[in-house]
A and B are shown apart, each in its own frame.
Chain A
Amino acid sequence: MLPERIFSSFQTASQGLSVQREKIAAATNNIANAGTSAPEGSGRAYRPQSVQTGTGPRQDFQRLLLDSVSTLRQTRPEHLSPGSASGAAGVTRSNLGPTAQIVESGQFRHEFDPDHPDADENGMVRYPDVDLIREMTQLVSANRLYEANLSAIEAEKQIIKRSLEL
């Protein structure tokens, strides 16, 4: 989490970056553990991970608008009424970035391999149900979205730089 003083578009982009990084990490984990077998009932079975994304705490539009309109009043309390300096405490920053959460699925695929040490009485070995094509697609799309977030940051930087040249 970035400190409050940094531009809000940077904060949003930073959350986007961390979500995409989380996705890449999950895909890497899944690919690395695609061949990790575990017998039925053992606690150390690898479960395929996927990243569930969502928006941050949703605020209603009117409050968001009022907050952003009244920030000037709230950051400089003495502009309106001298002495009441406690106005800045109630400011909530509007947070537009996504949030991510890792969820594990409990799906397994079974392969017939009676000589395997992890095989059950029917000769079946249990592997996590990792779809390699799906993981690779996730990896590529997360990579591209990461780059998109970086371009958003770059664009914001350019805007600020240009406005300083006025």
Chain B
Amino acid sequence: MLLGRAMDAMTLRQKMTSSNIANIDTPGYRKLDVRFEDELQRAQAKGGVRQMNAVTPFIEETDRKPVLEDELLEMSDTQIRVNVLTRSLRHHFDMLRIGITGINR
């Protein structure tokens, strides 16, 4: 399911952000980024929903050094996205529960 995949991507991104912050003063360290959303958009433009289900998040090493504020902003962005995802997952499961229990005979 796509929402679960997106959740995986957010978990991975959070890990990479903590790695970027931990290595902020390490010489030669380059910022690690998790690519998911733009790949999803590309898949959607190419082949629609069926292609979107095959998209997996991946880690990419950029050529920039990590910047503290940017990492913290990215962290809050991830947080917001996780909030959105949990909300829609909850909605999905609520619908399932209504489907299972909500029929009055």
A contacts, CB < 8 Å to B: 1-7, 10, 13-14, 17-18, 21, 75, 77-78, 85, 88, 153, 157, 160-161, 164
Are B74's CB and A164's CB within 8 A?
Answer: no
A75–B77 Cα distance when bound, in Å, is 20
Residue of A5, A14, A161 touching B37 (CB-CB under 8 A): A5
Are B74's CB and A6's CB within 8 A?
Answer: yes
What is the interface residue range for chain B against chain A? 10 to 19
Are A153's CB and B74's CB within 8 A?
Answer: no
Please encode chain B, from 63 to 88, with 1 for each CB lying within 8 Å of some chain A CB and 0 for all others: 01001011001101100100110010
The distance from the CB of A25 to the nearest CB of chain B, in whole angstroms, is 13
Contacts of A21 in B (CB 8 A): 69
A88–B46 Cα distance when bound, in Å, is 13
Contacts of A2 in B (CB 8 A): 70, 73-74
A1–B46 Cα distance when bound, in Å, is 28
Q: In this assembly, does B41 line the interface, its C-beta being within 8 Å of a C-beta of chain A?
A: yes
Are A161's CB and B45's CB within 8 A?
Answer: no
A17–B76 Cα distance when bound, in Å, is 16
Q: In this assembly, does B38 line the interface, its C-beta being within 8 Å of a C-beta of chain A?
A: yes
Are B76's CB and A88's CB within 8 A?
Answer: no
Are A17's CB and B69's CB within 8 A?
Answer: yes
Residue of B69, B80, B87 touching A14 (CB-CB under 8 A): B69
Are A88's CB and B45's CB within 8 A?
Answer: yes
A161–B45 Cα distance when bound, in Å, is 30
A7–B78 Cα distance when bound, in Å, is 11
A13–B77 Cα distance when bound, in Å, is 13
A61–B69 Cα distance when bound, in Å, is 30
Please encode chain B, from 39 to 78, with 1 for each CB lying within 8 Å of some chain A CB and 0 for all others: 0010001100000000000000000100101100110110
